Amino acid sequence: MAVRIGIFGYGNLGKGVELAVQKSPDLELVGIFTRRDPAAVTTLSGAPVYAEEALERMTEDIDVLVLGGGSATDLPGQTPAYASLYNVVDSFDTHANIPSHFAAVDAAASAAGKLGLISCGWDPGMFSLARVYASSILPGSEAYTFWGRGVSQGHSDAIRRIKGVLDARQYTVPVPEAMEAVRAGKNPELTTREKHTRECYVVAEEGADLDRIREEIVTMPNYFSDYDTTVHFISMEELKAQHSGLPHGGSVLYSGSTGADGAHKHVIEYRLDLDSNPEFTGSVLTAFARAVARMRAEGRTGCITVLDVPPAYLSPLSGEELRAHML
Amino acid sequence: MAVRIGIFGYGNLGKGVELAVQKSPDLELVGIFTRRDPAAVTTLSGAPVYAEEALERMTEDIDVLVLGGGSATDLPGQTPAYASLYNVVDSFDTHANIPSHFAAVDAAASAAGKLGLISCGWDPGMFSLARVYASSILPGSEAYTFWGRGVSQGHSDAIRRIKGVLDARQYTVPVPEAMEAVRAGKNPELTTREKHTRECYVVAEEGADLDRIREEIVTMPNYFSDYDTTVHFISMEELKAQHSGLPHGGSVLYSGSTGADGAHKHVIEYRLDLDSNPEFTGSVLTAFARAVARMRAEGRTGCITVLDVPPAYLSPLSGEELRAHML
């Protein structure tokens, strides 16, 4: 019997989940839930659209509810709230607040006999898995994460808030020399500036002071001041034509050694090269939604993360099939 | 309390496990078990050495027994036999026979209330995990595995069996153009010959017919005839000086797409670059031995593989620590 999936929140991530569920014959999309007027929402798949309130009465129709909201304001309230009604999966990615978010979801889900999986996606998510596997295999190894080349939504938004900016797109770019030094097992010590550069494509208002905008960007604390940042002013047409995608990716690298005096070096790399950040993230959430349904069916309740999921549970294949063909 | 580890078989892999246990403060090495005369074996760590027979009476002293034997003749008998006495971990890597080996270990371990984990290491092992994660996230994606540059023991042995050969080392080498095409998302169809080449370093007997040896190597069915193979005749001194290591590694690559008409391409790569194949493999087996002890303590019995292990169980860190620092 198909696992019945609901999606709450129909932005880029929700659409990514929708596309992934469509490609999974063992999953069934029950509906999209939105805070907008359902009549104003048209879905890619033709799935029915419901108002958020419908979630109160559809608990018998959905096995796993995937939350497509954002970490800043949506998920801190939504995930614990809906974990008391549904098995849930979210992509909460505010690293510093993961422990408190975990505790809130665990309390709600445990009390309701539901299972919630938080902080799913690729970072946190697949990159977290890469870190735990590699650090467990090679204790004492050096860890590196490089992001990009990819669009950072947070940095793009920060540029858009500058006076005189109409639109902007910011790419995080790993420094090739730094990555190659890590891949070669040199265990370099790298500053923030040595690991990534930032490329900004900015559409300015007509007559705006471009030098002032550029200066405000490159000196912006937290976002840009610790990086070598380049700013390109382009037209709105060029932005739409050349920079409308949301590519991303990166590498988790662990460099360690074994043997007498650490004579033998080992480098482990997990690398993603993604044309669409939200569609890939949605694909990850969908695979873990399958696992959540299985783990709940086996009696698991409370809150878990990707680190708690036996990998075989992500696959539609049986244990026998996996052992015969994938091992 | 430390997890008490025993190692049966003290070749390269057993030594790799020994080194890894030494680097893990939460694991304790109880002893090395060997079919050789224990008095003739000196261990790297100073751990005590016992004859195989001692395993009959030390069941209360060991939490997990790691089997360092080979897949051809040792493990098919040893793993089921010792799974009736101990929780066990092996590196059984004869892919076609994994289902029957699994069944034999499952029967023995289940009957004895023990837990056995088979086919651990990097392929099968970490590469299997990469396959299951990637194929679950990107259904319908193309899968590629490249091995090397690394020493293939099986191919080296095959050359040594040729008349007139004193010693040999064979490197499996991935074809760079093929890897780059896959990394670029081109989904190429690749023949065996297009994916890897084989480099052989051969020490011949004095006066041996080098042309005949070369011809026997490059035409050898299964091992070399489907590959572009180069043969270099070198001295024993050069072999010892330049080719005494056992490096290996490779990449598992999945290339798939999402979105309307598969508009967005995604490439997932898991890559290993290893100076010492047996020491890295031993490190993997050791991390999974930790997980086996935990899963058995939770009541799990029978046979499992790496695909059944929640990743968090590999780490000495607690769930709280992992969520706070690794997620």
pLDDT one-digit tens code per residue, B190-216: 999 999 999 999 999 999 999 999 999
- pLDDT computed for residue A261 by the predictor: 86
Residues of B with Cβ-Cβ distance to A20 under 8 angstroms:
258
Q: What is the pLDDT of residues A176-235, one digit of tens each?
A: 999 999 999 999 999 999 999 999 999 999 999 999 999 999 999 999 999 999 999 999
Query: Alpha carbon of A107 to those of A97, A104, A168, A304: distances in Å?
Result: 16, 5, 41, 12
Q: How far off is chain B from A310, nearest CA to CA, in Å?
A: 4
Q: Is A131 on the interface with B (CB under 8 A)?
A: yes
Instruction: Look up residue B270 and give its amino acid.
Output: Y
Token readout for B287 is 């991390």
CA distances from B35 to A33, B10, B74, B221 (A): 65, 9, 11, 34
Q: What is the pLDDT of residues B297-315, one digit of tens each?
A: 999 999 999 999 999 999 9
Instruction: Confirm or reject contact between B264 and chain A (CB < 8 A).
Output: yes
- Name the closest residue on chain A to residue B136, using Cα atoms: A315
pTM of the model as a whole: 0.97
* pLDDT greater than 90 at residue B260: no
Distance CA A210, CA A216 (A): 10
Q: Has the ipTM of the complex gone over 0.95?
A: yes
Whether B138 sits inside 8 A of A271 (CB atoms) is no
Output the pLDDT for position B304. 98
* A132·B276 Cβ contact <8 A: no
As a whole number of angstroms, the distance between CA A200 and CA B77 comes to: 62
**List of domains in chain B:** 3-123+278-325 (3.40.50.720), 126-275 (3.30.360.10)
Nearest to B258 among A131, A137, A276 (CB): A276
Tell me whether residues A270 and B270 touch, CB distance under 8 A. yes
How would DSSP label each residue in A269-318? EEEEEESBHHHHHHHHHHHHHHHHHHHHHTT--EEE-GGGS-GGGGSSS-
Tell me, yes or no, if B260 comes closer than 8 A to chain A by beta carbon: yes
- Secondary structure (3-state) at A246: strand
Q: What is the mean pLDDT of chain A?
A: 97
Scored b (16 or more CB within 10 A) or e, B223-259 reads: bbeebebebebbeeeebeeebeebbbbbbbbbbbbbb
Query: Distance, in angstroms, between A215 CA and closest chain B CA?
Result: 35
Beta bridge mates, A125: A122
Give the confidence band of B76 by pLDDT, cuts at 50, 70, 90: very high
Across the interface, whether the CB atoms of B323 and A98 are under 8 A apart is answered yes
Residues of chain B with Cβ-Cβ distance to A280 below 8 Å are 137, 258, 264, 266
For the cut 90, the answer to whether the pLDDT of residue B244 exceeds it is yes
Question: Which stretches does DSSP call E strand in B133-195?
Answer: 142-147, 150-151, 165-174
A98/B contact by beta carbon, under 8 A: yes
pLDDT value at position B17? 98
Residue B193, classed as helix, strand or coil, is helix
- In chain A, which stretches have pLDDT less than 50? none
Res. B326 pLDDT band, cuts 50 70 90: very high
Whether the link from the prior residue into A124 is cis, omega within 30° of 0, is: yes
* CA gap A247, A281 in Å, rounded: 11
**Mean pLDDT across B233-249:** 97
DSSP state for residue A205 in the 8-state scheme: P
User: For residues A59 and B302, what is the distance between their CA atoms, to the nearest angstrom?
Assistant: 36
B154-174 average pLDDT score: 97
Give the pair of three-digit tokens for residue B127: 């590469």
